[in-house]
Structure 1
Amino acid sequence: MDMQEAATRADAMLDATMGAVVPEIQWTHDETTTGSCTVTRYRAVMTIISEQRRGSFLGVIERFWKKSGYKITSVNQDRENPAVFAKSSDGFGIVLAIGDKGQVFLKVTTPCVRESEVAEPTIKSNGPDYSGDEIPYPNVRSDFWSAGSSAVPPSPKAGEPR
């Protein structure tokens, strides 16, 4: 596997993770970084995830990762900046972290692979595109994810990912 193939695999992991969140959230790409033999793809969630919903959001992602065969390697239960760390069976690391002002970030780091050029992701953000610009704090409201009280997210429709 070369760096481009690994980046494509990382994008697929991020796409699947974002697709598991119901109701849908808006996200944007962050910059891709490369090491001597690794690639890291980043996404920032632009939907405001209220403090009351963060536990539910983390739970949705953690359950999806477990169902996808990822091994949860660590959980940071910090009240302000919780995070979940996992690894796929083929050595890709995936992280969900809550940052400053509740900004949610996801990243996938590839295992060491053959060096090659790496193109930008081919899938478009489902929210504003901040390519080349600084990503602002979350600015998209959701009736569910931005709400101020705890509740159970709606169940997906038959055939949709959980």
Structure 2
Amino acid sequence: MTRKSLIFLALLVGSFLSGCSGKQEGKVDMQEAADRADAILDSVLAEIEPNVRWVHGPTTSDSCTVTRRRTVMTVVSAQRRGSFLGVVDRFWRKSGYRMTAVNNNVDVPAIYARTEDGFEVRLTVADKGQVHFTVDTPCVRFSEVADSTSRATAPLDPQAQYIPRPNIHSDFWSAGDG
């Protein structure tokens, strides 16, 4: 295993263990935690100017945590990626989030942070510059979890098995692409 793989694995295991320590946080249930995760995602996406278009990724849950995801469908070119990550990093710091890790890899950068109330947030850039936002809730009281009520800003074929690569051009965020 490479050093980067070991670091990633350690971060992943640490995140899992800290979120599922078995304690159940007060009276907050999984639906309320999912709603808070949606608010976190809504706020960071609203901060990005010019706006980017996004779709919902899958919501997953276990016995006490929920994960909400958003995938950016706007093409964020390699030339604009640093600016994009900078906007998110500054907003999260201004919001009181504690940065837990930063991956400065040119091709697949990522930012990991934790909110004051224990939500794990991350921005990852994947293959072809696809930007993903993910929020993992802390362990809370079990409940059913409904789909997010936040409206996606990009179209997605309801029959699609996978989220496609970013395919929406922005004069600013896509500059230099192609």
TM-score (normalizing by structure 1): 0.90
Partner amino acid for 2:52?
Answer: I
Residues of 2 paired with 1:132 and 1:81: CA distance?
28
Cross-structure match for 1:137: 165
Equivalent positions of 1:143-154 (< 5 A) are: 143-148=171-176
CA contact (8 A) 1:29 1:129 kept: no
> Given the alignment of the two structures, is residue 27 of structure 1 paired with residue 74 of structure 2, yes or no?
no
Residues of 2 paired with 1:72 and 1:128: CA distance?
32
Cross-structure match for 2:125: 98
For residues 20-47 of structure 1, the C-alpha deviation after alignment (integer angstroms, 9 at most, x for no partner) is 0000000000110002110000000000
Secondary structure in 2 matching 1:107: strand
Secondary structure in 2 matching 1:53: helix
Rg: which structure is higher? 2
Residues of 2 paired with 1:65 and 1:132: CA distance?
34
Shift of 1:130: 4.5
Cross-structure match for 1:15: 42
Secondary structure in 2 matching 1:8: helix
For residues 78-111 of structure 1, the C-alpha deviation after alignment (integer angstroms, 9 at most, x for no partner) is 1110000000000000000000110000000000
Which of 41, 64, 87 is 1:60 aligned to? 87
Residues of 1 paired with 2:56 and 2:70: CA distance?
5
Equivalent positions of 1:44-59 (< 5 A) are: 44-59=71-86
CA contact (8 A) 1:69 1:88 kept: yes
Which of 153, 157, 162 is 1:126 aligned to? 153
Percent identical pairs in the alignment equals: 55
Shift of 1:129: 3.1
Cross-structure match for 2:104: 77
> Given the alignment of the two structures, is residue 42 of structure 1 paired with residue 69 of structure 2, yes or no?
yes
When structure 1 is superposed on structure 2, of 98-107 and 128-137 the one drifting more is 128-137
Question: What stretches of structure 2 of length at least 5 have no aligned partner?
Answer: 1-27
Cross-structure match for 1:152: none
Shift of 1:131: 4.8
Give the number of the structure whose residues are more often helix, by fraction: 2
